[in-house]
Amino acid sequence: MKKIILYILCSTFLIAQVESRKPAATFDLPEFYLDALSFYSGDSLTSRIDLYVQVPYDAIQFMKLNDQYSASYEVTVNFLTVDNASMMEKVWTEEIHVPLFEYTASKKAFSLTQRSVNIVPGIYTVRVQVKDNESKKVSYVIKKLIAGNYTAQRLSVSDLMLVNRLANEGDRRVLSPNVSGNVGETNYAFSIFFEVYSDNATDSLMLHYTVTDIKGKEFLNKSQFYRLRGNRNQFVTKFDSIYYPIGSYILNVEVQSLLANPTDLPVLKQRSFFIRWGNMPISISDLNLAIKQMRYIAKDEEFEKVESATTDEDKRTLFDEFWLKRDPNPATKKNEFMEEYYSRVEYANQNFSHYQPGWKTDMGMVFILFGSPNNVERHPFDIDSKPYEIWSYYEYNRSVIFVDETGFGDYRLLTPIWDLLQRIRNE
């Protein structure tokens, strides 16, 4: 009996703050992406750090000047040691000029800037600040970095760069980095670039690649033999991602010298990436599940059309069309309505899960549809009744009642809400 009472108390505590939950956070700050990669600098005392800062056009403020639109932002980079001491600071300003206003709000246009610095090998925290010079708004990105010592061992490997585009300019190979880490919009394939540094005693390598999702499920396991040409070799390796569902992944590259001594260990490098498209919220990791979770606000014909699509590409297209119709501000890269909806789904899963996922429960459904109630009356221990709660929504002039029929925290909806459900679907 004590265990049951404790369980009910815990369940009540988990949902106790539903009325105080705030809408999904929105940030009125210039958002940007950062990548910081370590390579051999050419000497034994330093490591070369390549910094890439990508600022989307719709994250900064443009002003019309004469016949064009202009914007500028300032980048400040600080390298901090493990003792939080400043090792190095670098500051620069970027200017952007575009001929049409439409470019300033484009979801795909961005400013990409790159700087390189040489720094003593070690472990650092890289703190990058971007300040919009017009609005004066500021945002930060913080990233851990290991500046490698590439001459300390007979075999070493640089960091792994995600490649957005590869082009040849005469005899030169030009790489455009994928700074955001999203490979979901690159035609079901992506590439990586890295360098291998070796002494003269190493002439052949075995490269072993694996890709797993964050739960450890393996999507790729392959090996490649390579004969070295000199002490510094560059690699560009392409991967198919057509069968990778949306979500986060870890790429492992293990490099082993075939002439290594028995005591020589392989060199392992890792790189995280994710697959997502458009303005899909980060909480979505399964498209089929995200489609099922649309059922509370989708009209019957809309839901059946998306769910019955036979290919992933068709599902993706219909999913995008569904949410685009409900985007309150299509000119921006975020769909605030979709962000809030799936934020509620995530909250429901975290707080109302019982015998089934929280979004499927009655409390989860009501919360997803209407958000946090304005007031909650809780009656968990009334002598003459089963545990029940009353959620009041002033905007809809409605109160809904949930009753725990079993006594195990499984609250069921007692109040009909069909009319409100239809109103929301038709809005």
Among 76-80, 202-206, 345-349, name the one with the lowest average pLDDT. Answer: 202-206
DSSP label of 360: G
What pLDDT is attached to residue 263?
63
Handedness of CA 318, 319, 324, 328 (dihedral sign): positive
Residue 285 has pLDDT above 90, yes or no: no
Residue 3 has pLDDT above 60, yes or no: no
Among 79-88, 271-280, 374-383, name the one with the lowest average pLDDT. Answer: 271-280
What pLDDT is attached to residue 47?
97
What pLDDT is attached to residue 116?
97
**Four-CA torsion 88, 93, 96, 101, nearest 10 degrees:** 100
Q: What is the DSSP string of 386-407?
A: --EEEEEETTTTEEEEEEESSS
Ranges 32-36, 64-68, 324-328, most confident: 32-36
What pLDDT is attached to residue 15?
44
How many CA atoms does the CB half-sphere of 351 hold within 13 Å?
23
Per-residue pLDDT band for 260 (boundaries 50, 70, 90) equals low
Q: Give strand pairing partners of 94.
A: 73
Domains parsed from the chain with CATH numbers: 2-25+286-426 (no CATH), 29-152 (2.60.40.2550), 154-278 (2.60.40.3880)
The percent of residues in the chain predicted with pLDDT above 70, rounded, is: 92
Per-residue pLDDT band for 12 (boundaries 50, 70, 90) equals very low
What pLDDT is attached to residue 316?
86
What pLDDT is attached to residue 159?
98
pLDDT averaged over every residue in the chain? 87
Instruction: Say if residues 266 and 258 touch (Cβ distance below 8 Å).
Output: no
Q: CA end-to-end span of the chain, whole Å?
A: 48
Q: Is 24 helix (H, G, I), strand (E, B) or coil?
A: coil
| CA atoms of 348 and 354, how far apart (whole Å) | 11
Residue 378 has pLDDT above 70, yes or no: yes
Which contiguous run of DSSP H or E holds residue 419? helix 418-426
Residue 342 has pLDDT above 80, yes or no: yes
What pLDDT is attached to residue 388?
94
| CA atoms of 34 and 123, how far apart (whole Å) | 17
What pLDDT is attached to residue 262?
59
Q: Provide mean pLDDT across the span 314-323.
A: 91
Instruction: Say if residues 291 and 315 touch (Cβ distance below 8 Å).
Output: yes
pLDDT tens digits, 177-194: 999 999 987 778 899 999
| CA atoms of 239 and 211, how far apart (whole Å) | 10
Q: Provide mean pLDDT across the span 227-241.
A: 92
Other beta carbons less than 10 A from residue 324's beta carbon: 13
Per-residue pLDDT band for 289 (boundaries 50, 70, 90) equals very high
